[in-house]
Structure 1
Amino acid sequence: MSGDNSSSLTPGFFILNGIPGLEATHTWISLPFCFMYIIAVVGNCGLIYLISHEEALHRPMYYFLALLSFTDVTLCTTTVPNMLCIFWFNLKEIDFNACLAQMFFVHMLTGMESGVLMLMALDRFVAICYPLRYATILTNTVIAKAGFATFLRNVTLIIPFTFLTKRLSYCRENFIPHTYCDHMSVAKVSCGNFKVNAIYGLIVALLIGVSDICCISVSYTMILLAVMSLSSADARHKAFSTCTSHMCAIVITYVPAFFTFFTHRFGGHNIPHHIHIIVANLYLLLPPTINPIVYGVKTKQIREGLIKFLLGDKFSFTYDK
């Protein structure tokens, strides 16, 4: 095998094969992915710039949105440029350590995205259930600590992936049937026993994904109870409308994520491999592409901030909590 280290059976590099079975259509497949990536970068960078420069958007909800946008644009940038190089220029080789680094950032950032969505649910819970204490509970210090704690959680849980993968022996081949270095895709290439990798991956998914979803579910249950207790139909509608963008973000993030996770472990023989790879790419690219559009369309303050940015002082900005 090319790139072997005879003492540790560690390859010098891996070959990312792209989407198995669809090699002839790689160029055509790359076009929508490239278009989505451009939208993701422009949309998320635009949101970050708008939130940072528009004083009326210096609120906890928009700080969390800026953190989500930064996570999204970083996440898709870790994979899409490399994927386009595979599709366009047939540059399939990736250094072993670079592969491990990509694997770490992909999983750390997906965990970060889940954590930020959880923080945004807590933000909506405080805003709707404790509106008079909103500003005193979610101070800038609390927001910074919550964001750092989420980041630290994901780094701590994902770092073992690199060591568990590096300890494996790769004595058969160094071809990975994927467009990027996913933890289980790399582990399955090895000739060693990767059961520990699979078990730890499941544990991490439970600790991050399931715990975040449980927290989001509890938050929205409390929000629903609080909203239904309001006597005014307009007040109920206004409260629900502040959550619609976030609920859309949750759906487009978790549905493809769990599809990818479970097909890797339980549906490998029932679902065509190229379908799994395409969904795995959409799982990383779809949320960063759609989130700026959803928040731009659904959030009045974002729309007004964009209009004010384009028109300057000619537009009067109004703010609703």
Structure 2
Amino acid sequence: MAERVGILGAGAVGGMLAVLLADAGHEVTVLASERTSTAINVGGLALRSGRYGERRARVPARPYLTAPVDVLFVAVKAPDLLAALGRVPAALLTDAVVAPLLNGTDHVALLRAALPQAAVVPMTVSVEATRVAPGVIEHVSPFVEYALAEERERARVDPEDLLRGAGLDVDASAPDEPTLLWRKLSFLAPLALLTTRAMLPIGPASEAHPDLLDGLVAETAAAAATAGAEIDPAAVAKRIAGLPAGMRSSMLKDAIAGATLELDAIAGPILRALSDGAPVTRAVVAEIVDAGSATPS
């Protein structure tokens, strides 16, 4: 069954998702800046992927949502969330499913407060993809893994079914939302913070700073435990060790580009959970800030 799908954000994750859902026959609308919307309306969306091949999709793009949707995927970065919510009037999301794909943990409470009549179903996504131009996405990693909690708010449209129908992998093994969100963060935070601090891909960064990596993994797992999420540091370390040596985190890419970093979304939950017990994370974040890669808010 075709669903009305809105995608807030046309970066790497949002653009890729828009192409695959449109290709699966859904009625997709992309919500992005005027410049990006114009580029998509003129040239369409293009995806270059080793897994999915080269695909193109013609979907409408606009700066603001103007009609109700059944599902809204939120694919902006955390620092842009508040401004992006101005593109989606809450009155048009009554009874809709809102599926945020943001990094971190704090965005869920914000979305539920801002969109009280929507069913907010948190999700995570692990993928290495890059928006090389407005509307043009390169999917670099061999994987694209979506996840959501087994225990979640139910609605007429289940995001799991929608994504599986588009050929995407979905893991619904997390028992609850805290476990879902911290499973992603326990992997992402060490990867993002170490690569950005070293300004190197994960292979050379972990070889040069193994003690930092171990400390970041251990502290993130300890922070997860304060939220009731059980994370195995050894499993996280093994997963990071199995990554392609040349893999760069999105935070490293942003640092190289001089863009705003998701430091609060990624490191903030750890620092707030372990106010006196995260010396490695605190030191790495301070070094990133001092290096001029980010400006503290």
The TM tier, using the shorter chain, reads under 0.3
Task: Return the structure number with greater relative CO, CA threshold 8 A, min gap 6.
Answer: 1
Q: TM-score, normalised by structure 2?
A: 0.26
Q: TM-score, normalised by structure 1?
A: 0.25
Larger helix proportion of the pair: 1
Instruction: Select the structure of larger CA radius of gyration.
Output: 1
